[in-house]
Structure 1
Amino acid sequence: MLKLYYAASSCALATHIVLEEVGADYSTQRIEFAKEQQKSPEFLKINPKGRVPALVTDRGILTETPAMLVYVAQSFPAAGLAPMADAFAFARMQSFNSYLCSHLHVAHAHRMRGHRWVDADDAHSIAAMRRKVPETVGGAFEMIERDMLEGPWVMGDTYTICDPYLFTLAQWMEKDGVDLARVPRVVDHRHRMSERLAVKKAIAEETA
């Protein structure tokens, strides 16, 4: 059985949704950031990075959302959540998810985790990073809107592991100061995702 370590309102939701989509036999373990459980010796044995998500498999532990999404998709090929037989399409899917991981999520993190880049007592720099978030995150979503979201799903007509990942990060747009009027297709995608049963089930568990 798979075991997903997650925290509420984190990027772990993407993997949680995909586990539901494929009908996997899995369990979950919630990590409370407010209690700094991610820094506990017990969790650091699971993920020395001290972050979520982490996915325990029968072959070992996986971290990093793009890798976990691909692992689940490849483990349950009948669900059709990744274009396994098309090398170019698979690479395009990976390109999109890599952008979310390496750029969009990092830009978002500047709003509340500036201490990762400057000293925690450097209030001026931390405040400057926070002020920049609406521009950097908004710009990333605008590029997705304009150049990357093919519609109705990220890759076009086929629902893939890109969609839960985009949905998860799009949950944070309002708090990041993104002007939703500039990204109507992203907003529409978020709404359609919210109607899926797997999404409802994953969110219900994480917010219980």
Structure 2
Amino acid sequence: MQLYYAPRTISVAVAIALEEARLPYETIRLDFAAGEQTKPAYCQINPKGRVPALVIDGGILTETGALLEFVAAKSPDAGLVPDDPFLAARMREVMYYLASTMHVNHAHKFRGQRWADNQDSWKDMASKVAETMTASCEYISSNGLRGPFVLGETFSLADAYLYVVCTWLEGDGVDVSAFPKIVAFRQAMNARKSVQAVKAAGML
């Protein structure tokens, strides 16, 4: 498997899951500063011009949630998705919130052109990021984290996803010290070999 990623982006969540699943993979780094993700060569792999993309035997997969689910299905013994249907839905509830709301809040800081043409609008969106990301942290603290991890004591796909989002918080102007559950979660994640591996590889 080949994972196309850019450092410090949500694509690193897939690398964490691959490490947790102990699946072999190769990483291909894209230089976002040089706009490599928008060049024809990469757009043949992912026409959306975004990361992650995972090249596997038989095709190419995109979208973080889909790739995470694929990794879990490829390595069921890793236990990345709980067997209990309710807990599995709880895991996905958090993942979908991250994808639809918290990641979008973050993107308003740098990607205003996705939603508006007027540069003053971009500045307005960027100025709102600290507020919206703080609100998302409040939601995650109250409703997302049920213990050290999203599902309490058990690691799941949602934790790989949430961890990468939480690495953006200081840069987004969030006072992380106001959220002790998130601080504890990041500490628990930093202790995992999967996170240590992607950090050693310069992905985070």
1:19 counterpart residue number: 18
Cα distance in 2 between the residues matched to 1:176 and 1:79: 33
Q: 1:191 aligns with which of 183, 187, 190?
A: 187
Q: In structure 2, the residue corresponding to 1:206 is in which secondary structure?
A: coil
What residue number does 2:138 align with? 142
Q: State which of 89, 96, 105 in structure 1 corresponds to 2:103.
A: 105
TM superposition shift of 1:61: 1.0
User: Which sections of structure 2, spanning at least 5 residues, go unmatched?
Assistant: none
Q: In the alignment, which residue of structure 1 is the partner of 2:177?
A: 181
Cα deviation 1:25-75 (Å, max 9, x = unaligned): 111100101111111111111100000000111131111111111110111
Cα distance in 2 between the residues matched to 1:22 and 1:73: 7
d(CA) in 2 for partners of 1:140 and 1:152? 18
The runs of at least 4 consecutive aligned structure 1 residues that moved more than 6 Å come to none
Give the letter for the 1:191 counterpart: Q
How much does 1:9 deviate? 1.0
User: Which residue number corresponds to residue 75 of structure 2?
Assistant: 76
Deviation at 1:3, TM superposition (A): 0.9
Counterparts of 2:58 and 2:76 in 1: how far apart (Å)? 18
Corresponding position: 1:201 with 2:197: yes
Shift of 1:87: 2.2
CA positional deviation for 1:207: 4.5
Q: Give the unaligned 5+ runs of structure 1.
A: none
Q: CA deviation at 1:126?
A: 1.1
Would the aligned equivalents of 1:107 and 1:133 in 2 still touch at CA under 8 Å?
Answer: yes
Deviation at 1:202, TM superposition (A): 1.0
1:166 CA drift (Å):
0.7
Letter matched to residue 162 of structure 1: A
Aligned pair partner of 1:159 in 137, 155, 166: 155
For residue 49 of structure 1, give the secondary structure of its aligned residue in structure 2.
coil
TM-score (norm 1): 0.94
Q: Shift of the alpha carbon at 1:123?
A: 2.6
**Contact preservation (8 Å) 1:142, 1:182:** no
Deviation at 1:88, TM superposition (A): 2.2
Letter in 2 for 1:88: F
TM-superposed deviation, 1:108: 0.2
CA displacement, residues 65-114 of structure 1 (integer Å, 9 cap, x when unaligned): 1111111011100111111x322221221111010011000000001111
Q: What TM-score does the superposition give when structure 2 sets the normalisation length?
A: 0.96
- Residue in 2 that maps onto 1:92: 90
- Give the Cα–Cα distance (whole angstroms) in 1 for the partners of residues 19 and 156 of structure 2: 13
- Provide the aligned C-alpha RMSD in A: 1.3
Percent identity of equivalent pairs: 45
Aligned residues: 204
SS in 2 for 1:46: coil
